Amino acid sequence: MEQLDLSYVDEVLDRYKGRQGTLITVLQQVQAHKGYLEKEALERVARKMGVPTARIYGVVTFYAQFRLTPVGKNLIRVCHGTACHVQNAEGLTEAIEGELGIKSGETTSDRLFTIESVACLGCCSLAPVIMVGEKVYGKLSTDKVRKVVKEYKKKEAEQ
Residues in contact with other proteins by the rule CB under 8 A:
20-25, 27-28, 58-59, 62-66, 80-88, 91, 94-95, 98, 118-127, 129, 134, 136-138, 141-143
CB of 75 to other proteins, least distance (A): 13
Beta carbons of 126 and 139 less than 8 angstroms apart: yes
In terms of Cα–Cα distance, which of 47, 156, 44, 48 is closest to 111? 156
- Strands 113-118 and 135-137, sheet pairing: unpaired
CB of 70 to other proteins, least distance (A): 18
Q: Specify the residue, 76 or 127, whose C-beta has the smaller distance to other proteins.
A: 127
Q: Specify the residue, 112 or 126, whose C-beta has the smaller distance to other proteins.
A: 126
CB of 1 to other proteins, least distance (A): 31
Give the span between the Cα atoms of 136 and 138, in whole angstroms. 6
Q: Specify the residue, 85 or 153, whose C-beta has the smaller distance to other proteins.
A: 85
CB of 107 to other proteins, least distance (A): 19
3-state secondary structure of 38: coil
CB of 101 to other proteins, least distance (A): 11
Q: Specify the residue, 4 or 64, whose C-beta has the smaller distance to other proteins.
A: 64
Give the span between the Cα atoms of 131 and 118, in whole angstroms. 10
**Whether residue 70 has a cis bond before it, omega within 30° of 0:** no
Cα distances (Å, whole numbers) of residue 95 to 88, 105, 128, 140: 11, 14, 13, 11
Q: Specify the residue, 79 or 113, whose C-beta has the smaller distance to other proteins.
A: 79
Beta carbons of 78 and 115 less than 8 angstroms apart: yes
